[in-house]
C-alpha cells in the first residue's frame, strides 16, 4: 500500500506571524516548522505501513525552506518526499494549492491519501477535499480513528453530537484530527537516515500546470486590528468567588 | 443586485441553526435569496427558510445526501449552479458543509473563502486572522459563484415573514459519487442544554489537572442552571472529554451571556470559538495566561478551590 501524506510548512506556531507590505504572510526567513496538525495523519500512515507493509510518501508545497518540514516528516519515518516549490506559487490560494497538490499526488500515485483537518496558519480546512475531488476519489473526513482492511478505509468521524462510522473503498482521502494518534518524536537515527532519503523538488511546470492554473482568485485588500475589549478586572484567589457571583447576577443568569 | 444562495444544512436534528443566520444575511446582499437543502427533512426545512428570507428552496429529501459524505451534495450543487448561475454562495462552517464546499470549488474553479465573519457583497468578505486579533478584508475574484464559508453565529437570525417556493432536487447521483458511506451514527450528548444554545458555558482546560475534576464543572453548570459544559482542544485531544465538548477553531462556536473559562490558557485556536461571548470570566493560576486579555473578570487562583466555592455560594443564594 502506498500512503501519501500532505504536509505544510508553516511559520513557527509559537512565534508571532507577520504580514508584509503586500498583505501576505511573511514566509521567507521566518522560523518555520512542519505543521503540528500534519503529524497526526503522518503518524497514522506510518502505523498502517509498519503493520501492513508499503511506503509513506510526503507531498508538500512551499518555498525552498519548506524542505525542512519534509525532512522532519522523513526523520519521523516517511520513506521519501516531494516538494513543489516555485516562485509562481507565492500567494497561492486554496484552489491553486489544491491543483498543485493534486497534480503532485497523481504523479506519485496512491492507495490512501492522508491530510490534517486544517493548517495551523491559514485554517482554511477545504484543501484536502478539493484535492480529492480533482483526483476523483471519495473522502472520509475528520477521522478521530482510522483503519484499513481488505481495501476499505473505515473511520470514526467527528460530528457535533458524537461520531459517525464511515466506510470508503480505496483509493480515498482521509483527514485526520489532532488526538487521533500520538505522533512520535524523531529519533537520532531517524534524523541521520532522513538526510539520505530521497526528496524530489518539482516546479509547477514539471507537473504540467499552466500559468492560468496558478492565478489566485482572492486578494486581501485591507487589514485592521480587531476591536479589543479594554483590560478587564483582575482579582486574586478567594475574592474571586464573590465577584463571579455578582457578575452572574448582573447578567441575570442566576 | 445579485443572486445570493445559501447552503442550508439538514442533519439528523433537522435544519441546522446556521441556515437561518445565513438566509437572514443573504437578504441584505441579494435581490433573490435561494436556499439549497439536501437530505431527509429538506422539504420540511423550507418553512423556516422561507420565513427567514429564502424566496426559493431547492429541496432534495433523498437519503443519498445524508448517507454519503460530500460527493452527492457537491454533484447536485454543481448542476444547480451551472443552470442558475448565482453570484455568491454562502456555506456554514460545519463538518459536512466544509466537505461539500471544498469539492464544489474544485468542480467549478470558483474561489472559496473560509472562516468569514462578515460578508460585505457578492465579491467582498471579511475574516479574522491571528486568533481574532486582526480583521482582513478579502476581494473575491474568479468565475462566479464566489463561495464563502461563514463561521456559525456571525449573524443573528431574524424572520422576515415570507414563504418559499419549493423546487425538488433530483437524486440522480452517479455511482462514483457515492464513495464514502455513513454506516453508523453515535450520540455522545451530554445532559442539559446544548453548548451553542446555553445562556452560560462553563469550559475546562489543562488547568483542571485531572479528567475527574471535570465533575466540578458539571456541578457548577447544574448550580447555575441552563448552563452547558465545554472544553479546550488540549483536554479533548488528551481524551478527558468527548470531542462534542470542544470549543474553538476546530470545535464549536459559542456566544453565551456568560462564558466561564476554568484552567484554560487561551490559545488563539480556543479564543476564536468564544471571544464573542457577552461576558467572559477566566479562572487561572497563571496571571500571564492569554485568556485574561479577553476576560471581563479574571480570577487568578486555584480552580480546584474556587469552583467548589462558587457552587456553595450559588446554592446558598438560591436558599
Answer whether B91's CB lies under 8 Å from B97's CB.
Answer: yes
Is the ipTM beyond the 0.85 threshold? yes
List the single range of A174-183, A191-200, B124-133, B308-317 with lowest mean pLDDT: B124-133
CB spacing of A253 vs B258 below 8 angstroms: yes
**What residue has cell string 480546512?**
A125
Average pLDDT over residues A130-147: 97
CB spacing of A247 vs B250 below 8 angstroms: no
* Of A51, A81, A66, A188, residue with least CA distance to A121: A66
List the single range of A25-34, B219-228, B248-257 with lowest mean pLDDT: A25-34
Tens of pLDDT, residue by residue over B152-174, are: 999 999 999 999 999 999 999 99
| Residue A160: predicted pLDDT | 84
Using a pLDDT cut of 70, give the percent of chain B over it: 98
Give the N- to C-terminal CA distance of chain B in Å, as an integer: 59
- CB-based contact (8 Å) between B248 and chain A? no
pLDDT of A17 > 60? The answer is yes
- CB-based contact (8 Å) between B315 and chain A? no
| Residue A187: predicted pLDDT | 95
| Residue B268: predicted pLDDT | 84
pLDDT of B124 > 80? The answer is yes
Average pLDDT over residues A134-155: 97
Minimum CA–CA partner of A15 in chain B: B130
**What residue has cell string 476523483?**
A136
Q: How many CB atoms lie within 10 A of CB A140?
A: 29
- CB-based contact (8 Å) between B187 and chain A? yes
Average pLDDT over residues A221-233: 83
If one compares B272 and A96, the residue with the highest pLDDT of the two is A96
| Residue A100: predicted pLDDT | 98
Minimal Cβ distance to B189: which of A161, A165, A252: A161
Tens of pLDDT, residue by residue over B46-61, are: 999 999 999 999 999 9
> If you average pLDDT over every residue of chain A, what do you get?
92
Average pLDDT over residues B250-279: 92
Helices (H), A29-175: 39-52, 67-76, 94-108, 127-135
| Residue A80: predicted pLDDT | 98
Using a pLDDT cut of 90, give the percent of chain A over it: 78
| Residue B102: predicted pLDDT | 98
Chain A residues within an 8 Å CB radius of B125: none
CB spacing of B257 vs A93 below 8 angstroms: no
Strands B30-38 and B124-129: unpaired
- CB-based contact (8 Å) between B300 and chain A? yes
Average pLDDT over residues B109-129: 94
> If you average pLDDT over every residue of chain B, what do you get?
93
- CB-based contact (8 Å) between B238 and chain A? yes
CB spacing of B182 vs A238 below 8 angstroms: no
| Residue A226: predicted pLDDT | 83
Minimum CA–CA partner of B128 in chain A: A226
| Distance to chain B for A43, nearest Cα, Å | 15
| Residue B318: predicted pLDDT | 81
| Distance to chain A for B32, nearest Cα, Å | 25
Chain B residues within an 8 Å CB radius of A244: 260, 281, 283, 297, 299, 306, 310
CB spacing of A218 vs B106 below 8 angstroms: no
Answer whether A71's CB lies under 8 Å from A199's CB.
Answer: yes
pLDDT of B191 > 80? The answer is no
Using a pLDDT cut of 70, give the percent of chain A over it: 96
| Residue A230: predicted pLDDT | 66
pLDDT of A30 > 70? The answer is no
Minimal Cβ distance to A243: which of B243, B252, B297: B297
If one compares A130 and B132, the residue with the highest pLDDT of the two is A130
Chain B residues within an 8 Å CB radius of A93: 111
Average pLDDT over residues A107-125: 93
Average pLDDT over residues B80-88: 96
- CB-based contact (8 Å) between B71 and chain A? yes
Average pLDDT over residues B296-314: 94
- CB-based contact (8 Å) between B120 and chain A? no
pLDDT of B1 > 60? The answer is no
Answer whether B221's CB lies under 8 Å from B193's CB.
Answer: no
| Residue B31: predicted pLDDT | 84
CB spacing of A130 vs B103 below 8 angstroms: yes
CB spacing of A226 vs B135 below 8 angstroms: yes
Amino acid at each position: 500500500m502506498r500512503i501519501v501524506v500532505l504536509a505544510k510548512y508553516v511559520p513557527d506556531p509559537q512565534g508571532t506571524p507577520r504580514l508584509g507590505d503586500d498583505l501576505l504572510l511573511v514566509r521567507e526567513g521566518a522560523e518555520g516548522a512542519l505543521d503540528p496538525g500534519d503529524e497526526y495523519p503522518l503518524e497514522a500512515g506510518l502505523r498502517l505501513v509498519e503493520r501492513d507493509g508499503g511506503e509513506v510518501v510526503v507531498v508538500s508545497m512551499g518555498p525552498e525552506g519548506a524542505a525542512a518540514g519534509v525532512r522532519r516528516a522523513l526523520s519521523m519515518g516517511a520513506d521519501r518526499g516531494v516538494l513543489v516549490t516555485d516562485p509562481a506559487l507565492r500567494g497561492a490560494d486554496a484552489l491553486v494549492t489544491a491543483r498543485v497538490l493534486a497534480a503532485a499526488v497523481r504523479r506519485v500515485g496512491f492507495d490512501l491519501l492522508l491530510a490534517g483537518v486544517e493548517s495551523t496558519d491559514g485554517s482554511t480546512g477545504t484543501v484536502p477535499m478539493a484535492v480529492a475531488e480533482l483526483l476523483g476519489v471519495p473522502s472520509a473526513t475528520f477521522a478521530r480513528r482510522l483503519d484499513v482492511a481488505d481495501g476499505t478505509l473505515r473511520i470514526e468521524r467527528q460530528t457535533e453530537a458524537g461520531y459517525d462510522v464511515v466506510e470508503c473503498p480505496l483509493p480515498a482521502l482521509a483527514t485526520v484530527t489532532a488526538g487521533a494518534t500520538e505522533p512520535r518524536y524523531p529519533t537520532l537515527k531517524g534524523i541521520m537516515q532522513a538526510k539520505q532519503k530521497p526528496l524530489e523538488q518539482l516546479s509547477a511546470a514539471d507537473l504540467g500546470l499552466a500559468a492560468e492554473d496558478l492565478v489566485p482568485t482572492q486578494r486581501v485588500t485591507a487589514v485592521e486590528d480587531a476591536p479589543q475589549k479594554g483590560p478587564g478586572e483582575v482579582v486574586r484567589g478567594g475574592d474571586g468567588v464573590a465577584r463571579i457571583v455578582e457578575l452572574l447576577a448582573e447578567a441575570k443568569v442566576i | 443586485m445579485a443572486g445570493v444562495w445559501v447552503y442550508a444544512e439538514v442533519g439528523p436534528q433537522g435544519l441546522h441553526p446556521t441556515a437561518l443566520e445565513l438566509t437572514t444575511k443573504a437578504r441584505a446582499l441579494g435581490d433573490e435569496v435561494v436556499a439549497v437543502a439536501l437530505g431527509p427533512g429538506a422539504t420540511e426545512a423550507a418553512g423556516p427558510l422561507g420565513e427567514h428570507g429564502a424566496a426559493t428552496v431547492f429541496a432534495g429529501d433523498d437519503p443519498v445526501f445524508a448517507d454519503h459524505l460530500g460527493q452527492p451534495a457537491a454533484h447536485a450543487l454543481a448542476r444547480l449552479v451551472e443552470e442558475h448561475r448565482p453570484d455568491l454562495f454562502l456555506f456554514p462552517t460545519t463538518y459536512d458543509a466544509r466537505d461539500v464546499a471544498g469539492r464544489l470549488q474544485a468542480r467549478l474553479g470558483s474561489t472559496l473563502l473560509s472562516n468569514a465573519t462578515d460578508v460585505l457583497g457578492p465579491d467582498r468578505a471579511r475574516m479574522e486572522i491571528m486568533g481574532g486579533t486582526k480583521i482582513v478584508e478579502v476581494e473575491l475574484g474568479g468565475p462566479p459563484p464566489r463561495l464563502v464559508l461563514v463561521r456559525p453565529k456571525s449573524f443573528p437570525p431574524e424572520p422576515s415573514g415570507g414563504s418559499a417556493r419549493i423546487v425538488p432536487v433530483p437524486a440522480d447521483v452517479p455511482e462514483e459519487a457515492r464513495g464514502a458511506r455513513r454506516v453508523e451514527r453515535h450520540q455522545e450528548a451530554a445532559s442539559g442544554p446544548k453548548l451553542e444554545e446555553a445562556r452560560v458555558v462553563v469550559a475546562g482546560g489543562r488547568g483542571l489537572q485531572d479528567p475527574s475534576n471535570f465533575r466540578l464543572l458539571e456541578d457548577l453548570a447544574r448550580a447555575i442552571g441552563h448552563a452547558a459544559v465545554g472544553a479546550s482542544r488540549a483536554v479533548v485531544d488528551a481524551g478527558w472529554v468527548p470531542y462534542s465538548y470542544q470549543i474553538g477553531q476546530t470545535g464549536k462556536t459559542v456566544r453565551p451571556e456568560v462564558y466561564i473559562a476554568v484552567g484554560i490558557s487561551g490559545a488563539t485556536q480556543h479564543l476564536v470559538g468564544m471571544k464573542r461571548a457577552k461576558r467572559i470570566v477566566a479562572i487561572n493560576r497563571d496571571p500571564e495566561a492569554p485568556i485574561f486579555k479577553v476576560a471581563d473578570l479574571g480570577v487568578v487562583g486555584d480552580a480546584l478551590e474556587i469552583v467548589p466555592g462558587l457552587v456553595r455560594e450559588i446554592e446558598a443564594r438560591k436558599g
